[in-house]
Structure 1
């Protein structure tokens, strides 16, 4: 199971998220993001276009993940250095691993990271 974790600013569009996902390697079976972002139009539009589910990850699960990158702004708001990395790992389940650190969309509005796991 390949899970794409996505972090994004309010101004991000589905195209921003798609670009970040493509830069991260694409090929996801599931999208994941912070609970408070899961209902945003950009991620819902991307999910609909790809025919994928969006998994909302709670704050405690985000904070429990060991991530590779750190944004102080993101850490202050979400309790993790990278929403994209933490959401991917949490949604991929125990023993999941990141394929690499998060990547940033060309417009700077979205990040994506891919985790490989056995569970959903």
Structure 2
């Protein structure tokens, strides 16, 4: 399973999400699932529909238990996680998951995306 995890600002447009995914996806296998923190699920659902991919919701508690290679001050303040995108991807990909690279930021800086490979829990 290849999961694209997302973090994004409220009201981030679909194009911001697509741009972050394009940057993160370069050179990696095709994504099979999308994931984000529970309270951002409605913002990611349009991308899931557009790509015909399932969207997984990750609890804030689960995010805070995952170590991430990058650290965002905003993410730490809101979710006690260094990166919502990285932690979402790792949580959704399951036990033993690994990031295929650090998160990528959309050119407008409204969305981030990280790709993880793993197996469902």
Fold-level match, TM-score > 0.5? yes
Aligned to 2:106: 105
Shift of 1:118: 1.9
Shift of 1:81: 0.8
Match of 1:39 among 42, 63, 68: 42
Distance 1:63 1:87 in 2: 10
The size of the alignment, in residue pairs, is 118
Aligned to 1:19: 19
Report the RMSD for the aligned CA atoms in angstroms.
1.1
Aligned to 1:54: 55
Shift of 1:45: 1.2
Following superposition, which runs of at least 4 residues in structure 1 exceed 6 angstroms of deviation? none
Shift of 1:11: 2.9
Aligned to 1:29: 32
Unaligned stretches of 5+ residues in structure 1? none
Q: Aligned to 1:6, what secondary structure does the other structure show?
A: strand
Unaligned stretches of 5+ residues in structure 2? none
Distance 1:49 1:114 in 2: 18
The aligned runs of 1:58-97 (5 Å cut-off) are 58-97=59-98
